[in-house]
Structure 1
Amino acid sequence: MSAIADTSLDPSASQAKVAQGSPSPGAKTVPGANLDPIFKAALYGCGALVLILLCSIVVLLFYGGWPALAHFGPSFYWSAAWNPVTEKFGAAVMIYGTLFTGFLALLIALPMSFGIAFFLTEIAPQSVRRPIGIAIQLLAAVPSIIFGMWGSLIVAPILASTIYPPIISVLSHVPVLGYLFKGPTNGAGMLTAGIILALMIIPFITAMFVEILESVPAMLKESAYGVGATTYEVFRNVSVPYGRTALVGAVMLGFGRALGETMAVTFVIGNANRISASLFSSGATIASTIANEFPDAPAGSLRSQSLLELGFVLFVISFIVLAISRMLVRTNAK
């Protein structure tokens, strides 16, 4: 008993117990404290999973398409041949169609997105702003295949019968630029694909434009109004310059979305393996070619390997566009 009493009354012994991690009599145990390392490990695992998935996709595309690149050499990227019968494959037509339709979509969507964003942030009352904002979000949620069906069954016939013929008859004889407006009027072609893509990326770009313009400090805008600037002058000289870099980043993100679109373009582009400068000619994109031909390509054949190499090219193009956009947005944030 005396030994136990001496130990319990000895200060050094109690300090040794505290040093060993024994809880003090008045300390409270935090619930879940022992689970914190497991929680951190799970978070690290989630982050690593994203990198693993990305790397696995890149490796799959590169490894699967390497035999085609080794067979055709670097000329695969600028060759316009695509003939499954003779097994001659090249990516030039698809790369051209992807970039051309993407730029057409930007040319159409950019002014419309600016106009909608300007209306929502500077002119529209709150009672009107909310319904239009909800409509934009709903439009962004429409599946791409619905856009493709709508474009093929409604938009393309209307364009072919009403819009394209007068444009061709008037502008096809213009010097220098006339070749852009020569071609068939069946409705399926590059311009139709660009219009459908523009309608698909307008909600995406507009939503980002609205957020960027609403982040402009009110003090800057009120100061401009105070010296007599009009609404348009405030928008042009204050709001747009303030978020210029982020606006460009939003445009690049929209462009990246247009580059990878598949089903909507497949319905309306015509799916012809040729390069033409005409806005009305049929063409093909990387995504539409993969969607059309991959189910029929035998596994391990030169055709399937060429399609995988096309997928790798599309990945590289999209990565470059998105990397530039993120760099611009980050520069604006600093």
Structure 2
Amino acid sequence: MPGWLYQRLGDRLFSALVVGLALGVVLAALAIVWVLYQGGREALHTFGFLGFLTGSRWDAVRGEFGAWPPLLGTLVTSAAALFLAFFPALSAALFVVEFAPRALKGAVAYLIDLLAALPSVVYGLWGIFVLVPLVRERVELPLFTWAAAHAPGLLPFLGPPTGIGMLSAILVLALMIVPYASALARDALALVPQSQREAMYALGATRWEVIRRVVIPYARAGIFSGGVLALARALGETMAVTM
């Protein structure tokens, strides 16, 4: 077989393989949508799509299905966790790229990536045995005691100081998504050309001015992608919050 014909055949086989794998991903996504539709078809036909999303009551015994409370709780906890995690993640990325000594960069980056590899159940157990008692003793119990003495009308809204609630869930989620946002932000910051930094230093800029006016604007797309990935992780996380 001639060499050019062999090369052309290899290119066609590789193209067919790539296209087949891409179609497999699309078909898998469509299969997931189909399975979800089949499982929730009865509720969707009974209440409608908007009625299912905006319904506030979920009672399987009575056949009432409203997804608004868990949907709202997921959105609130994920958004709050992203708000708390974004700035620590960006700070960690800036430290690794801009401030850490060469001998320390690899170790810090490895530790951050290691946090991303921890299973959700580990974060959940840490939340149960460490974070929940801390929130109960340091936040909820003092607030409950103050409200009982000075603002009794707030007690029905506070609930019992158990430590299990929205605050603990937000803190656990924030800790979980920091490595994801930090890893992508670190990669984006590392791609900023050194010539851009040197040009700013040549103009007499300080390190903070270089970071604020050159590094962060240049890596804005990668930082935003890290935030989106972290938000997706927070939206899809159930194990740690459930525990």
Above 0.5 in TM-score?
A: yes
Of 218-227 and 200-209, the range deviating more from structure 2 = 218-227
Coordinate RMSD, CA, aligned: 2.8
Shift of 1:151: 0.9
Structure 2 unaligned runs (5+)?
none
- In structure 1, the residue matched to 2:26 is 51
Per-residue CA deviations over 1:285-311 (Å, capped at 9, x if unaligned) read: xxxxxxxxxxxxxxxxxxxxxxxxxxx
Secondary structure of the corresponding residue to residue 56 of structure 2: coil
Shift of 1:142: 0.3
Task: Give the fraction of aligned pairs with identical amino acids, expressed as a percent.
Answer: 36
Q: Distance in 1 between matches of 2:46 and 2:59?
A: 15
Pick aligned residue for 1:204 from 153, 156, 180: 180
Are positions 1:65 and 2:58 aligned together? no
Of 49-58 and 219-228, the range deviating more from structure 2 = 219-228
Q: Distance in 1 between matches of 2:3 and 2:41?
A: 61
- In structure 1, the residue matched to 2:213 is 237
Secondary structure of the corresponding residue to residue 122 of structure 1: helix
- In structure 1, the residue matched to 2:229 is 253
Shift of 1:38: 4.2
Q: Could you tell me whether the CA contact under 8 Å between 2:184 and 2:225 is conserved in 1?
A: no
Q: Which amino acid aligns with 1:55?
A: L
Q: Distance in 2 between matches of 1:140 and 1:93?
A: 29
Q: Distance in 2 between matches of 1:191 and 1:232?
A: 33
Pick aligned residue for 1:193 from 165, 169, 189: 169
Mapping of residues 71-220 of structure 1, within 5 Å = 71-73=46-48, 74-166=50-142, 182-220=158-196
Aligned residues: 239
Q: Distance in 2 between matches of 1:39 and 1:67?
A: 44
- In structure 2, the residue matched to 1:9 is none
Per-residue CA deviations over 1:12-43 (Å, capped at 9, x if unaligned) read: xxxxxxxxxxx7xxx66876875654444333
Shift of 1:172: 11
Of 139-148 and 114-123, the range deviating more from structure 2 = 114-123
Q: Distance in 2 between matches of 1:41 and 1:59?
A: 26
Per-residue CA deviations over 1:34-65 (Å, capped at 9, x if unaligned) read: 56544443333222211111111111212332
Q: Distance in 2 between matches of 1:237 and 1:35?
A: 48
CA 1:101–1:29 in 2, change beyond 3 Å: closer, same or farther? closer
In terms of fraction of residues, the more helix-rich structure is 2
Q: Could you tell me whether the CA contact under 8 Å between 1:172 and 1:182 is conserved in 2?
A: no
Q: TM-score, normalization: structure 1?
A: 0.64
